[in-house]
Amino acid sequence: MILAVAGGKGGIGKTLVATSLTLANSPLQFLDCDVEEPNGHFFLRPRIRKTEAVSIPVPRFRKWKGEVCPAAADFCRYGALAAVGEDMLVFPELCVACGGCFLLCPAGTLEPVDYQVGVVKKAVARSGIEYIGGELKVGSQRTTEVIRAVKDSLDPGRETVIDCPPGSGRPVLEAIRGSDFCLLVTEPTPFGLHDLRGNKKLLDILRVPGGVVINRSGTGYDGIQRWCREENLPVLAEIPFDRKLAAAAARGRTLTDYNPDWVPRLRELRETIKTKL
């Protein structure tokens, strides 16, 4: 089973839920796909044994092979390639690796070269967790390429938990795609409901079944439960608001570290999810 954990905004508790669920049911495989701001390692404390580069093919102009090709530069919507006088300038940080320039140039004048956009780190973390985490290079915008590289590294024979990036945009789509189930973490506020709606739409498009975890519950707002009933979206767990838990999480402690009662509850949550596949 591949279980994705997503949520509308940063700080809603995605990583807390994903790492706690992984620990309680270990040994599982954990994928940190929040590559713009990965933080699963704060909770799981992996010992990195392998770091692999993630690269995209960007063009390099081979002057000695042929003429400058203005058509290719003109084609590039991102301005990553410029035809100036006798030369073609490449701005690899702007390249999205669409490959269009290679098709428009006479054979051989542009050659693809690797340009690093991030890394994938592999490790064994506590409780025998197989940890695979992506990190986007600072300044790069090739988020989905790094997420894809993380997902390509997973061992399909092992049960997996994916910590997704926040929001309902393209990187989240890439992280959830191919999962068997997705837990949506939210909070009992109108903001939480707004983001949850977006996440639910994304799951419908991807045809991935979902369930909701309400974090910081017990604050009096029942809009999430009402909407979930209308949408037939099961609320599978609630984490009561607790300032001490928030402080513990900020120090890298999971739900199971904070209170061992969470271990049987999170094992049960996994069993419940399995019945919904």
Partner 1 sequence: MKVVVSSTGPELSSTTDPRFGRCSYFVVVETETMEAKAHSNTSRTAMGGAGIQAGQFVASLGAEAVITGNVGPNAARVLSAAGVKVFTGAAGTVEEAVKNFQAGQLNQTSSATVSAHAGMGGGR
Q: Which residues bind partner 1 (CB under 8 A)?
A: 73, 76-80, 82-85, 87, 89, 91, 94
Residue (96 or 154) nearer to partner 1, CB: 96
Taking the complex as a whole, the smallest distance from the CB of residue 36 to partner 1 amounts, in Å, to 17
Determine the Cα–Cα distance for residues 187 and 102; give it in Å rounded to an integer. 48
Taking the complex as a whole, the smallest distance from the CB of residue 142 to partner 1 amounts, in Å, to 12
Taking the complex as a whole, the smallest distance from the CB of residue 66 to partner 1 amounts, in Å, to 18
Give whole-number Cα distances, 258 to 38, 122, 172, 214, in Å.
Answer: 22, 26, 28, 18
**Do residues 28 and 186 touch, judged by C-beta distance below 8 A?**
no
Taking the complex as a whole, the smallest distance from the CB of residue 236 to partner 1 amounts, in Å, to 39
Amino acid symbol at 191 = F
Amino acid symbol at 100 = G
Residue (80 or 213) nearer to partner 1, CB: 80
**Do residues 134 and 146 touch, judged by C-beta distance below 8 A?**
yes
Give whole-number Cα distances, 179 to 4, 53, 126, 154, 200, in Å.
Answer: 6, 24, 24, 12, 14
Determine the Cα–Cα distance for residues 89 and 115; give it in Å rounded to an integer. 15
Residue (83 or 239) nearer to partner 1, CB: 83
Q: Is the backbone peptide bond immediately before 27 cis, with ω within 30 degrees of 0?
A: yes
Per DSSP bridges, beta strands 181-186 and 2-7 are parallel
Number of H helices, E strands in the chain: 11, 11
Taking the complex as a whole, the smallest distance from the CB of residue 143 to partner 1 amounts, in Å, to 14
Closest CA to 227 of 273, 194, 268, 270: 194
Residue (100 or 178) nearer to partner 1, CB: 100
Residue (17 or 88) nearer to partner 1, CB: 88
Taking the complex as a whole, the smallest distance from the CB of residue 140 to partner 1 amounts, in Å, to 12
Residue (79 or 264) nearer to partner 1, CB: 79
Q: How many CA within 13 A on the CB side of residue 150?
A: 38
Closest CA to 130 of 109, 150, 154, 111: 154
Residue (87 or 222) nearer to partner 1, CB: 87
Taking the complex as a whole, the smallest distance from the CB of residue 85 to partner 1 amounts, in Å, to 6
Taking the complex as a whole, the smallest distance from the CB of residue 91 to partner 1 amounts, in Å, to 6
Residue (87 or 111) nearer to partner 1, CB: 87
